[in-house]
Structures are given as structure tokens and as C-alpha cells.
Chains A and B, each alone.
Chain A
Amino acid sequence: MLKTLLAPFRNTSGLARWILVAGLVITAVFLVFAIFAPWIAPFGFNQVSANGHAFPKMAPPSSEHWLGTNDQFYDILSRVIWGARTEVIVVALSVALAVIIGVPLGLISGFVGGWTDRTLVLLMDALYAFPSLLLAIVFAFLLQGPLGGGILAAALALTAIYIPQYFRVVRSTTVSAREATYVEAARAIGARNGTIMGRYLFGNVIQSVPVIGTLNAADAISTLAALGFLGLGIQPTQAAEWGYDLSRALDDAAAGIWWTALWPGLAIVLLVTGLTLVGEGLNETVNPTLRKRRLRDFVMPTREPSTTLARGEVEV
């Protein structure tokens, strides 16, 4: 298990490894923020007073409020840290749901073929062709009514835009794997369709999912922030959300109030960059065509016949 987890490190070197490490460190910091938010953040995300006196409105950074306060009297440092928790929950939920729905659909569609396949491909292609933010806007708009502006509504809106990506990748790998010898062999020994899909194909088509997952997570952060900025994300009373905070900063930016805008945005940039770097790093280790080959000197054993006595190079 540990060996599989460490494989990306062993397979990389030089810049690729640095990219992966940098990405992992940034992501880890935000994960720590997310998990330990109640202990790290000085105040609650919607707390407007402490020890009996109210927070000032739009106060510049001070010893009491390190990053200042915003127009709703909230402490910005606390909002940024609690925001990490919101982002992580929403993104994890949406990517997990997209995988849970998209992967089986792709598998079934690619394996069964026929009308099921054609209908699903048509639907997924239509969703895929749609500008993703607009699709998220439509879903968020619809879900806000019945579900309220909570974490679940935001996560489901994001899920909808990522399902087609998993579907497409898994379906195309399934279509090419369907005719492979090992599937034919499984069929010959009488395996049923369910078994073939579950036991034989699943493990082979799932390979590229972690890479797409990380890159989707980066994209999901931006999209969630965009929804929040447009007022379609999470309501401020339910959780802290960076995009919403930036939309509040809009009115005061021209008046020179920079601290309400700078920090939530910086958090988004860092987390998105971190996740993108992890995704790129993973991609280089998973995808052998992108990997630079490392060659190591190798001396053939000497007691063999003289023809094989060559100093060769072997890929490691």
C-alpha cells in the first residue's frame, strides 16, 4: 500500500519531482486548515464579536485582526481558514460523486454498446460542449430553490459538470479494452458481463481517474468561487466561502480597501496552483509518454559467451 502511494515519487526526478512536492505541500497546508479550522482560526466564520465587544467594520489589518475585518464585521483570517474547510468538503464531495456516477456509466456504456451507448454519448457530449461555468450556473440556480444555498447544492452543481469527463475517458478505454485478449479469455471461461466489468475491466480503466480527479479539483475550486461570486454559491450564514467574500469586497475596492479582496483571492490562487501542480506531477508519473527516461549504466555478467559481453543501458 505504502509502495503504491510512494510510486509517484520514485518515478519522478528533477523538476517533475519538485513540481509534485511543491503541489503536495501547498495542498497539505490547506488540508490542515480545513481539518483543524476550529483550532487554527482565531474566531468563528460568522462571529462578529468577542469578549463582549463587537468587531470593527472594515478595519485594516491589526494585532487583533491580523488580516483585518470585512464589511460584515467578520474577521478575514478566520474566513480564509474556515473557507478552506468549505472548499475541501465541496470539492471532495463533488469529485467523489462525479467519479461514482461517471465511471460506472462510462464502463456500462462502453461495454454494452448499442442504443444505451449512443444515447449516453449524445447526452454527455451535449453536457461537455456546454461552457462549464454556464452549466454550473444553471444547476446551482435550480438546486438553490429546493436545497437552499448550502454545501450540498454547490457540490451537486459541480458534480454535474464533471460527470461527462469521467464518462468519456472511461468509456473510450473500455471500448478499446473490450476486445482485448484477457476479456475474451474471461468470456471463454463463462464469466458474466457484471463480472467482466467489475473484475477485469474496472481495474484497467480506472488508471487515469486520479489525474483527472486532481485537475478537476483545481477547476472545482475556481468554479465554486465563481458561483459564490455570482451569488449562487453557499450562503454566508452556512459556511465561509472565498468567492462570496470577494463579491462583498467589490463595492469597496475602488475606495482603496485592499485587505478584503487580497486574502480570499490569494487563497484561491494558491490552492488552485497547488492542485494543478499535483495533477501535472501525477500525470507525468502515470503517463509514460511524458516521462523522461532515466538510464542507468549496466554491466552484463562476465561468464557468458563473449557476444553478450556488452556494456548496455537499461531503463529503470
Chain B
Amino acid sequence: MSAGSGSLPRYIGQRVLLVIPMILILVTVVFLLLRVAPGDPVTAAVGGKLDPQAIALRRHQLGLDQPLYVQYFEYLKNVVTFNFGHTISDNRPIIDVIRDNGGATLTLTLGAFIFALAIGIPLGLIAGRMRDTAPDVVIRIFGVVTYAAPIFWTGLLLVILVAPTGWPTYDIASPETKFLVHPITHVLLLDCILQGNIPATLDVLQHHLLPCLTLGLLLCGVFIRLVRVNLLQSLQGDYVEAARARGIPEKFVIRRHAFRNALVPVITIIGLQVALTMAGAVLTEKTFNWPGIGNQLVKYLDARDYNAVQGLVTFFAVVVIIVSVLVDIVNAMIDPRVRY
């Protein structure tokens, strides 16, 4: 390792600079796929409803009658300013769609990570601690099955099980809550808390349970596997051996020395899970009729709205890249070995 190459600011700088070409390429791929494809977006979305003049007018408004490279640079300019254009089918600014529905997706994914960690880490530790015994086998099978099960099927089964108890099984809040709480931050849970509305907060939290648990179950398998393997490795480490040699009771050896080191790579894995989480969120949102961006994407896919699909997919891709980089940076702060 040469002097200086391990400094944190430099590492952060490098990672951030690398984001720009990645986003540029992704944005270009999305653009090319959706614009070079045959067929006219306006006709696809609203054909049959409007006469040819009106369609031509809409094409002009959306800039679709411009040469492709002009459209491309226009699109790049818009992405930089986080302006993703307007939807074709209902002529809404796409940034509004993201603002109004982003909060629901945000709380869903954060909640899912809480569940995934709360389930995955203890199970992984138990499985690693009790290697090759019955609990280990059961936990590993649990991990494989929750990962293999389609998320919408897990969700459906949970709905079937829970619905008879009267617990809310779809949407983010009851109609009363939605009516009473006016948007401040556009994150419903936060708005409820900010307005001091305790019943509404509880209502929203109740609605979060099933979707977050469903998405969390998908993610927890990865954590189980990772924590288990890491624990097995760290139990063989020299420092564990050294701790034992010093006469530290086994209980403390495991808790203080093995567990802690087994948990370090979890943060890295969170970064790698962001793409899976986003895909999972789209499916979870459709399953629970959750008012997030994923559900909007499904709606616009049905409407064959090219602009909306392009904008929302670009947004998802950009979020995945940015979050991955942020996790990398946090990781580098915690573990100096990452920075090389």
C-alpha cells in the first residue's frame, strides 16, 4: 500500500467521480432502449382516444418530433436537474409522481431492512454457533426457502393468514388517516409524527408491518448465510484462539471476539442488496397495493406510457447507484482495509 492511497477523502473522491460515468451509461441505455424502439410512445399510450392532430400536438409538446440526438441531450439536461419530464398518459410531471410516492417506498424499504437485520443476524449467529446441528439445518433451509419464494407469494400467504384477524393487509393507511394528515414531508409516517397525531401514527405503523415483513423475509436469507459463514470463519481466527488461551470464558470469547467481527461485512452486503430491494419493493408494492413508486411504475407499464417508464426506471437506477456508493463510503469509514 503506497502512502496516501489509503486516505478517506481520496477514496470518497474516487467513488463519487466513478458515479458520474455509471449514471451516464445507465441513463443512455434506458434512453436508447425506450426511444430507439419501434412504435410511437404517444400512440401507444393514448392512441384511439385522441385524433391524429391531437397526437401530433402531444408529440410536439413532448419533443418527440425532434431528431434523436436533440432528444438525448434534452433528456440528459433534464436528468441532471432531476426533471424527468411529463407522463404521457395523464400528463403529470414525473418528479411529482416521485415526490408523492417516494415516501411510501422509502419507509417500506427501511422497514424491510430493519426486519431483515432483526431476523437474519440472530438466526445467522445461532446457525453458526450450532454448526451442523438440527437448528443450523432448519435455519439454513429457512434461509433458502425465503430467498427462493417469490416475494408476492410470501406476501399473499401472509395476507391469507393475517386477514381473518382484521389486521390491515393493504395500502399504507386507512382512509381517515389519509384524510386527516396533510403532507409536509411527503413521508406519511413522518408527517403523522410531526403533526403529533398518535392514532394516525399507530395506524400507519400497523399498515407497515406486513409489507415490511414480506420484503424483509426476502432479504434476511442473505444475512443468515453471510453471518453464519463469517462466524464460522472468525471462530477459527487466531484472535479467538488467543482469547481462549488467555482463559476468557467461552461465552465472552464468542460474544466479544467472534460475533463482532462476524458482523463487519453485513454493511457491505447491505450495499449489494440495494438492487434486490428495489426490485423487491416494486413487487411488494403491487402485492399490498402500496402507494409507492413501484406501484406507479406498474400503473404506467399497464398504460404503456414510455415517458413515465423511462423516468421512473432512470430514477430507480440512479437511486441504486447512489445508495451503493454511500454504503461503500460508510464501509470505508468503518473498515480501513476497504480503502487500499
Contact = CB atoms under 8 A, between A and B. Distances in A.
A301 interface: no
B156 A130 contact: no
B316 A265 contact: no
A131 B29 contact: no
What secondary structure prevails in chain A residues at the interface with B?
A: helix
B301 A229 contact: no
B337 to A, nearest CB: 22
Interface stretch (A50-58, A99-107, A269-277, A285-293): A269-277
Interface centre among A126, A132, A246, A268 (most CB of B within 10 A): A126
Interface stretch (B55-63, B188-196, B257-265, B280-288): B280-288
Interface string B13-43: 0000000001001101110011001110000
Interface stretch (B101-109, B145-153, B177-185): B145-153
B275 interface: yes
Interface stretch (A89-97, A252-260, A308-316): A252-260
Contact of A258 (B29, B34, B148, B160): B160
A222 B22 contact: no
Contacts of A262: 157
Nearest to A249: B156
B95 interface: no
Given A230-B283, A232-B301, A253 B160 contact: yes
A139 B33 contact: yes
Given A145-B38, A231-B298, A269-B145, A226 B153 contact: no
Contact of B163 (A122, A232, A249, A253): A253
B8 interface: no
Contact of B150 (A123, A232, A246): A246
What secondary structure prevails in chain B residues at the interface with A?
A: helix
Contacts of A231: 298, 301-302
B313 to A, nearest CB: 6
B332 interface: no
B27 to A, nearest CB: 10
B301 A146 contact: no
B39 A134 contact: no
A269 B141 CA distance: 12
Given A225-B150, A256-B164, A122 B169 contact: no
A40 interface: no
Contacts of A225: 150
A127 B317 CA distance: 11
B33 A229 contact: no
Given A130-B317, A131-B317, A229 B283 contact: yes
A59 interface: no
B223 interface: no
A235 B148 CA distance: 24
Given A127-B29, A231-B302, A146 B160 contact: no
B150 A133 contact: no
Interface centre among A123, A131, A142 (most CB of B within 10 A): A131
Contact of B26 (A126, A141, A273): A126
Nearest to B274: A131
Contact of B30 (A129, A138, A229, A264): A138
Contact of B33 (A131, A142, A226, A246): A142
Query: What is the interface residue range for chain A against chain B?
Result: 35 or more
Nearest to B33: A138
Contacts of B283: 133, 226, 229-230
A229 B150 contact: yes
A250 interface: yes
A264 B283 CA distance: 16
A230 B282 contact: yes
Contacts of B22: 126, 129
A177 B149 CA distance: 39
B88 to A, nearest CB: 14
Contacts of B287: 250
Interface string A204-245: 000000000000001000100110011110000000000100
A142 B36 CA distance: 10
Given A131-B275, A133-B279, A141 B301 contact: yes
A261 interface: yes
B150 A254 contact: no
A20 interface: no
A170 interface: no
A230 B287 CA distance: 10
Nearest to B161: A258
Contact of B275 (A132, A243, A256, A269): A132
A163 B258 CA distance: 40
Contacts of A138: 30, 33-34, 309, 313
A137 interface: yes
Contacts of B286: 229-230, 247, 250
B227 interface: no
B316 A254 contact: no
Given A126-B22, A142-B34, A232-B301, A134 B156 contact: no
A197 B37 CA distance: 34
A230 B301 contact: yes
A202 to B, nearest CB: 29
B321 interface: yes
Interface string B133-176: 00000000000110011101100110110011000011000000
Give the 5 A-B CB pairs with smallest separation, nearest first: A265-B153, A133-B279, A131-B275, A126-B25, A272-B148
Interface of B: 22, 25-26, 28-30, 33-34, 37-39, 44, 144-145, 148-150, 152-153, 156-157, 159-160, 163-164, 169-170, 275-276, 278-279, 282-283, 286-287, 297-298, 301-302, 304, 309, 313, 316-317, 320-321
14 contacts: A130-B29, A134-B278, A134-B316, A137-B301, A141-B301, A226-B279, A229-B283, A246-B152, A250-B152, A254-B170, A261-B156, A265-B157, A268-B149, A269-B150
